[in-house]
Amino acid sequence: MSQAIKEAVGAKTEVKTYRNYIGGKWVPSRTGRTFESTNPAHKAEVLGVLQQSDMRDVDAAIEAASKAFAGWRRTPAPARGEIVLKAGIILEARKEELARLMTQEMGKVLKEARGDVQEAIDMAKYAAGFGRLPHGETVPSELRHKWAMTVRVPLGVVACITPWNFPMAIPSWKILPALMGGNTIVFKPASDTPIIATKLVEILEEAGLPSGVLNLVTGSGSEVGDPLVQDPRVAGISFTGSTAAGRQIAELAGRNLKRLGLELGGKNAIVVLDDADLPLAVDGALWAAFGTTGQRCTAASRLIVDKKVEKDFTDLLQERAAKMRVGDGLQPDTDMGPVINEAALKKVHEYTEIGKKEHARLVHGGDFAGDQGWFYRPTIFADGRKDMRMAQEEIFGPSTLVMPVNGLDEALEVANSTQYGLSMSIYTNDLRKAFHAMDEMQSGLVYVNAPTIGAEIQLPFGGVKNTGNGHREAGTVALDEFTEWKTIYVDYSGRLQRAQIDTALGE
Ligand code: NAP
Ligand code: MG
């Protein structure tokens, strides 16, 4: 077809259609409906057409995962690890291509998209090793001729429901440890980033994952996520997303006493004391507030600064923010990409209006940045107080609030004054103050002289308070969310021995 005819027919003829992956086959949805994935930097650019599935597809996927469970559970863990490792090697070979696609689908600048893919590579290499690590303990029994031990066992069929902000990293944090634990999976990715999710599934297929072990169903939270959460055949749910959706899922999961891991919202704070290295603190604040366009669960949307240095800090931050270039993340000179979609853009601007009404002082930004895509200027408010909505509610965009305080105690009191508890950081050169903050900060992650973002996969990740329900992802505990303990006693004495009653001193 000539270019002219192609244009006449419409660019849509060129757009690829992606399918669900159920029982080892790429299949269309039973609904016959589809939706589009678009580029947030170029609203009109359609990147692909996806299946808009419903409960019938969910049912088929759960059925396939249930059937595959017995075989996968019995596959030796080192053999499972070989497949996961191979997926990591494929990811590594295709890193650049995947990162570019991610920038197009999600908007984050290319450098950060590479980091997102790298996190999946790191997780694959790390999780593969679980296959050869101990998966239980032998423990002395109080009785003679008796062994006591524990082994990890899989949950069964696990649902992995993920957000769009780390479209490769977050699914890998869930799927790879869940696979290593011996579970089979139904994966429901965010509707804003279904293509990159499909790529991850394709790669695991190529790495040799048997049919039915991992199933992908695209579609909305209500039509796909909700039936998945409610189905009694699903034994465990791993969810990362908003606190509102997390609450709803927790209620449903609670009714059926399902295992549930929740990673939810944040309202993270950087504390800057008067003795801090100010340029270093500004570097950190800029990266934590505007990296990934502020759309990280660990983004610093509160900058709690000692009054003695607040003016200098805010001036420096404003100066740096003014130099940031907002645009298409594929362009090498772009510092900050768009927000994910129109609703997100409206929400960020709504908080600008709220901030003004609450008499926070707009220092920088507060406005849209071009209409090609969902662009917003890096936005800084000052004179923040802890009772402001801006200081309490998650904005999830490039908007941050400077909050003046008097000294460490007030800084910590303000830092701890929200319902969330994911990540906090302190900039100080006083060792005693740093340790005091490490003790007192109510958050799952604490950074000293570093920003609130930048987790590494070999450490546990997660939050306290309304950020979650006590589970942690990644790190040495990564399998805890996806396995149960089985305790086994073997008595080879040949007679009845009663724990706590029969003495072990005799024969
Ligand atoms: P979201 O709206 O809650 O969506 C997350 C995922 O859940 C999506 O796949 C969504 O599907 C699905 N979903 C929505 N409602 C559902 C329901 N009732 N039942 C089952 N599934 C449902 O969150 P988001 O806007 O994508 O992500 C941003 C949020 O995630 C922020 O609050 C952020 O802090 C949080 N987050 C937390 C962490 C962490 O580790 N703590 C990490 C990253 C992000 P659709 O896409 O089809 O709507
Ligand atoms: Mg999109």
Say yes or no: 257 and 276 in one domain: no
Say yes or no: 248 and 272 in one domain: no
Q: Name the nearest CA neighbour of 375 among 459, 301, 446, 290.
A: 290
pLDDT in tens, 348-387: 999 999 999 999 999 999 999 999 999 999 999 999 999 9
506 confidence band (pLDDT: 50, 70, 90): low
Q: Which two tokens stand for residue 152?
A: 């990890």
Say yes or no: 80 and 220 in one domain: yes
504 confidence band (pLDDT: 50, 70, 90): low
Q: Does 2 score more than 70 pLDDT?
A: no
Say yes or no: 315 and 362 in one domain: yes
> Is the separation of the CB atoms in 148 and 494 below 8 Å?
no
220 CA distance to ligand 2 centroid (A)? 14
Q: Does 18 score more than 80 pLDDT?
A: yes
Number of H helices, E strands in the chain: 15, 21
Q: Catalytic site residues?
A: 263, 297
Closest protein CA for atom 4 of ligand 1: 241
Report how far apart the first and last C-alpha atoms of the chain are (Å, whole number).
89
Atom nearest to 297 CA in ligand 1: 34
Query: How many CB atoms sit inside 10 A of residue 476's CB?
Result: 13
Q: Does 162 score more than 60 pLDDT?
A: yes
Taking CB atoms and a 6 Å cutoff, what residues make up the pocket around ligand 1? 161-165, 188-191, 220-221, 225-226, 229, 240-242, 245, 248-249, 263-266, 297, 394, 396, 422, 463, 467
Say yes or no: 28 and 152 in one domain: yes
164 CA distance to ligand 2 centroid (A)? 9
Q: Does 166 score more than 80 pLDDT?
A: yes
- For residue 125, the enclosing domain spans 15-264+468-486
Number of domains in the chain: 2
232 CA distance to ligand 1 centroid (A)? 22
- Rounded CA separation 257/252 (Å): 9
Say yes or no: 292 and 438 in one domain: yes
pLDDT in tens, 333-353: 999 999 999 999 999 999 999
Say yes or no: 417 and 334 in one domain: yes
* Cross-strand bridge partners of residue 37: 48
Q: Does 5 score more than 50 pLDDT?
A: no
Ligand number nearest CA of 338 is 2
Domain contains 172: yes
To test the pocket of ligand 1, the residue of 36, 55, 161, 473 to mutate (highest count of ligand atoms within 8 Å of its CB) is 161
The CATH number that applies at residue 380 is: 3.40.309.10
- Identity of the amino acid at 288: A
46 CA distance to ligand 1 centroid (A)? 22
Say yes or no: 224 and 293 in one domain: no
- Reduce the secondary structure of 179-204 to three states and give it as a string: HHCCCEEEEECCCCCHHHHHHHHHHH
Q: Residue 446: which H helix or E strand, with range?
A: strand 445-448
Say yes or no: 254 and 291 in one domain: no
* Cross-strand bridge partners of residue 426: 271, 448
Domain contains 462: no
> Is the separation of the CB atoms in 229 and 58 below 8 Å?
no
Any idea what DSSP says for residue 325?
A: P
Ligand number nearest CA of 466 is 1
Q: Which two tokens stand for residue 462?
A: 């997660």
Say yes or no: 356 and 481 in one domain: no
Atom nearest to 228 CA in ligand 1: 20
The CATH number that applies at residue 139 is: 3.40.605.10
Residue with tokens 């900060």: 441
Say yes or no: 45 and 22 in one domain: yes
